Amino acid sequence: MSWRPSASLHNLRHRAQFLQDIRTFFAARNVMEVESPLLYSGVATDPGLNAFAIGTRFLQTSPEFPMKRLIAAGSGPIYSLGKAFRCDEVGARHNPEFTMLEWYRPSWDHFQLIEEVDALFQTLLGCQSASLTTYAALFEHYFNINPHIATLSALESIAMEGGWLQTLSQSHLDKDGLLDLLLTHGIEPELGYPHPTVIVDYPASQASLSKIRTIEGDEPYEVAERFEFYYRGIELANGYHELSCPKEQKQRFLDDLQKREAQGLPILPLDNALIAALEAGFGPCAGVAIGVDRLLMLKLQENHIANVLPFAWDKA
């Protein structure tokens, strides 16, 4: 292992200024910076996330749960700029230890937060304002199908035609798995040119921690009040009109644990402190998480995350 840093000193100087620019942005908007425990007793139950376990605690995959407890305690708008950890993610755009920017706006919905994310990106990246589209509109444009009411067999056929699914006999993907395959392989590389793209109205089955609403029509369907930002083919931000019902939140945690058990993944503890905070009172709120290292990659036109980190995974 070389002792030298992963990134050049030139890039590290830019990184230091980048972090300062983020803090300046929020200071001007009276959003308070907060810290959350890196070793936390709760952990995200999402089957797609794997946390590092340290004894009876977990290195946080996101500061979301303790930040929501602060919101419930009356903190007002807050942001966190610090380390997060996700196990088994190493690659050009992933490092198990990374820097996350996350913030919450009480009384806002996700559309108001989209405007602020857009302003931040214009400030940091010098890009144009983002365009907004729906999840359904993208699938209708690229695949001529409504993803919310499409059948499993229809999605499998599209994946086969695109060469993204080799044989049906080898496929164990459910509907959300197929939708994700089509999005990441057939749509995502085209997004965010020449300006950022925002996707809204994800399938309700992909709501995670966001509210759900019904789209009326001949065939009504539910969508998640969730958004994602893409720029130059890279996903940069994932935000929600936050779920505030403690009963629904607990049920979603339990549903996640059932999925984890079915997939042979470790069963994780519920964050009862978060549930208690929601029970105490958690009004309308919007929140978003952003990978800072990916943002800096775009700023510096780098194609590997190691080039913007002092010490990437293989040198840490």
pLDDT > 90 fraction of the chain, expressed in percent and rounded: 87
What token pair was written down for 273? 């402190």
pTM for this predicted structure: 0.94
d(CA 197, CA 228): 8
Per the CB < 8 A criterion, the answer to whether 15 and 294 are in contact is: no
- So what's the pLDDT on residue 90? 87
Over residues 128-162, the pLDDT tens digits come to 999 999 999 999 999 999 999 999 999 999 999 99
Q: Could you give phi then psi for residue 124, rounded to 5 degrees?
A: -80, -40
- So what's the pLDDT on residue 201? 97
Q: Quickly tell me which residue has 């009384």 as its tokens.
A: 107
Provide the 8-state DSSP code for 184. I
Mean pLDDT taken over the chain: 94
Domain parsing of the chain, residue ranges:
9-130+249-315
- So what's the pLDDT on residue 173? 86
- So what's the pLDDT on residue 216? 85
Beta strand spans in the chain (E):
32-33, 39-40, 53-54, 57-59, 78-85, 97-106, 131-134, 197-203, 212-215, 221-231, 234-241, 285-291
Q: Which CATH class is domain 9-130+249-315?
A: alpha beta
Strand partners, 151: none
pLDDT at residue 169 greater than cutoff 70: no
- So what's the pLDDT on residue 314? 93
Helix 292-300 and helix 9-28, axial crossing angle in degrees, nearest 10: 120
- So what's the pLDDT on residue 267? 86
pLDDT at residue 110 greater than cutoff 60: yes
Nearest to 102 by CA among 120, 128, 90, 89: 120
- So what's the pLDDT on residue 9? 98
d(CA 7, CA 27): 28
d(CA 86, CA 234): 18
Over residues 258-316, the pLDDT tens digits come to 999 988 998 899 999 999 999 999 999 999 999 999 999 999 999 999 999 999 999 99
Could you give the count of Cα atoms lying within 13 Å of 81 in the half-sphere of its Cβ? 16
pLDDT at residue 171 greater than cutoff 70: no
Task: Give residue 292's identity as a one-letter amino acid code.
Answer: V
Per the CB < 8 A criterion, the answer to whether 36 and 61 are in contact is: no
